[in-house]
Amino acid sequence: MIYNGIDLNFVCRDYLSSLQLLCLCEGLKPLIRLNAYVDQLELYKNFCQQNSLSYYISAYKIIDKDGRIGFSSKKDWTFQESAQGYHYIYLAKDPTLLKSDLDNISDRDFGKLLGYPECCLDAYDCNVNQVRMNKIDFTALTIESSDPASFYVNTLIRYFRYALIQHFPCSVECADSLKMGEQVYTLLQEKYPQIANQFRNQLTCFAIHLGETEIYYANDFTESVSPYGKRIKFSTIKYIQKNELYKDLMEFKEVEIISPRIIKIGDKVVTGEYLRTIIYK
């Protein structure tokens, strides 16, 4: 992703962060927050200087305790001088946005600064305790029907480094979130069509959620009608951790969806309070 002669991936080191930086530069986002290791700080500072951006670097460093960089729900703080961890770097075109006390800001106020829809901020406040207590993904609470959702709002596979929006939509039908996802995708298509295709190919998927570390998805899937509901066949499945369900999925390479919360793999019926299945198209 070359932008004004600079490779965004060289600065950011992953496509999701590069995409956010692109959205900021192109006016789709007012403010972004990225993770920056000490050796990246100079790269970000240079990028800001060349693209008329302002920045603020957190006064502390962050350590992801479960090793899932950037998406971890188990974060810890450490001193700047520590050899471990990364900083948050906040970037904006408008320097006044960086005047709030960003190191101590509430989730809600920060969400507003980032331009997230009000309805989604309400849903976040409402669901945050349930999500943390049950070690599930926010996205699971927004999946209620078997109807396909748009890939614009696929936030379930962001652990695999693919997402167009950075917030959790209040529902897969949230109009503001769909619009944001579409705008980001359109921008990506205009600037980097190959990467846009790569995002679309990954985000268009059949996904299963059982918990925050139990998310599976398949891109090459087919749907058909089964005696119980819907049958999904696939040749391979992507995973965060290999466990019992992964083994079953790879043994049968098909799932019958009885409802979004009940599935059948072979003769085994799998259910759970937070089991969800969804097709993103």
Using CA atoms, how far residue 1 sits from 16, 50, 88, in Å, is 11, 16, 22
CB of 107 vs Zn ion, minimal distance in Å: 15
CB of 203 vs Zn ion, minimal distance in Å: 18
For residue 90, the SS3 value is: strand
Distance of CA 75 to the CA centre of its chain: 17
Site string for Zn ion, 79-118 (x = CB under 5 A): --------------------------------------x-
Size, binding site for Zn ion by CB under 5 A: 5
Q: Which stretch binds Zn ion (CB under 5 A): 52-60, 156-164, 173-181, 193-201?
A: 173-181
Q: Is the dihedral of CA 161, 131, 259, 269 positive or negative?
A: positive
Q: Does 170 bind Zn ion (CB under 5 A)?
A: yes
CB of 171 vs Zn ion, minimal distance in Å: 7
Choice between 136 and 174, CB closer to Zn ion: 174
Choice between 12 and 120, CB closer to Zn ion: 120
Site residues (CB under 5 A) for Zn ion, limited to 175-204: none
| Count of CB atoms situated within 10 Å of the CB of 156 | 28
Choice between 85 and 181, CB closer to Zn ion: 181
Site residues (CB under 5 A) for Zn ion, limited to 117-136: 117, 119-120
CB of 175 vs Zn ion, minimal distance in Å: 8
**Strand partners for 268:** 265
Q: Which of 11, 79, 13, 5 is nearest to 42 (CA)?
A: 11
CB of 174 vs Zn ion, minimal distance in Å: 3
* Burial of residue 158 (number of CB atoms within 10 Å: 0-12, 13-18, 19+): buried
CB of 96 vs Zn ion, minimal distance in Å: 26
Alpha-carbon span 132 to 138, nearest angstrom:
9
Residues 6+ apart with CB under 8 A from 21: 3, 8, 11, 12, 32, 34, 47, 91
Choice between 173 and 254, CB closer to Zn ion: 173
| Binding positions for Zn ion, rule: CB under 5 A | 117, 119-120, 170, 174
